[in-house]
Chain A
């Protein structure tokens, strides 16, 4: 077989495995979230469709496909259609560079951390454009809140990454995982981890930072005017972002695929699902912040803490 053709084929199959696997995880995350909330609130959760409600995500998907796709007359059509696409695409992108096991990753680029930051920068536009193009006051306020929130917390996120890069001495995710052979980054980078986790919650628009879609004040925030599959894309994008963020936390702080006895891929999945569970746990435990508190926490607490973390890491790197 032609070697170029073989390479393309292998890469194509890898991409299909990653995207397919991730979309499967995302679909079943909706079920997991409902099961977890049911457990926290002492009820049963979905249990009618299939055994233990296992077919529920498929039923939801079919329902959303067959709903009428309404495009309101007062929207900016082009931007309105593009917005959910940006959200979903950018949510899938981080998986390009995440190492799932020692050998299985799609690509290893030497500035991987910067790629993650660039993706999260572009991701902002999906929700921002949805808010602005909808031409409705709730969407508009939702979009405005998203923009200010993501900008504020991206700074803390990037500064937490700086600590990691200093400690591991590389920006490539593969090398960062390998550098955690003896000790996971979460131990020397505990301040950075706390900052990163809080900033990640805000980046994901999850409670306690879900002000862009606070249903008590804003109906549904930036996706108020969306219906059918476009709404589903926002919903899936949200869960895909959640999966991506859990995978990033696993890779960067929890040693990635490293672990004894079991194969790397299994360790990666276990760690990722623990992080996912913690995200859900927080969502159903805490109330929502007020908006000025949210911006205050970002700039007055997380950014100084992240800078402190960088200083400590630099001192540790020099003297240990």
Chain B
């Protein structure tokens, strides 16, 4: 089990780097797809089949198709990433790296403290439904209203006359 986990972690990294450094936008989208599938494997390892499959359905099945759509509509050009580093951007990169390290350190600390206190471990479908409709009802509804606002806004942007 542990070996599979580390192999999967390695491949997640490879696919994530493939997204960043791929020259062909379509292949980048494809490695993003593989990256999402490997992420879903973590959920399976954690014993939550439900979240794993939802991850595949929503991200792999929905979002990447939309990304592929955008690539088709904007044209399949080969983009060469621009690595022309000047002094100013060099300083910027260093500052960004320091900032990222700080964020990672903070996150690592808070996650280490946070995980054992997480109140729900029941990750079955019934357990998640229970959590959504009782304890986390308010955040769930707020999130759904946020999504609804997003949908309405998308319509307003897409259509010139509403």
Q: Which residues of A contact B (CB under 8 A)?
A: 76, 78-79, 109-111, 114-115, 117-118, 120-122, 124-125, 128-129, 132-133, 135, 140, 143-144, 147-148, 150-151, 154, 158, 171
Contacts and interface: CB of A to CB of B under 8 A. Distances in A.
A165 B32 CA distance: 31
A132 B49 CA distance: 32
Contacts of B50: 111, 114
Contacts of B54: 114
Nearest to B49: A111
B69 A147 contact: yes
Given A79-B30, A128-B65, A132-B26, A121 B57 contact: yes
Q: Is the interface of B mostly helix, strand, loop or mixed?
A: helix
Contacts of B144: none
11 contacts: A110-B125, A111-B49, A114-B53, A114-B54, A122-B37, A122-B60, A125-B33, A132-B71, A135-B76, A147-B65, A147-B69
Determine the main DSSP class of A at the interface with B: helix
B124 A151 contact: no
Given A111-B53, A129-B30, 20 more contacts: A76-B24, A76-B27, A79-B27, A109-B49, A111-B50, A111-B125, A114-B50, A117-B57, A120-B61, A121-B61, A122-B37, A132-B26, A135-B76, A147-B69, A147-B72, A148-B69, A150-B65, A151-B62, A154-B61, A158-B57
List the 5 closest pairs (A to B, CB-CB), nearest first. Answer: A121-B61, A114-B53, A118-B56, A111-B49, A118-B53
Contacts of A125: 30, 33, 64-65
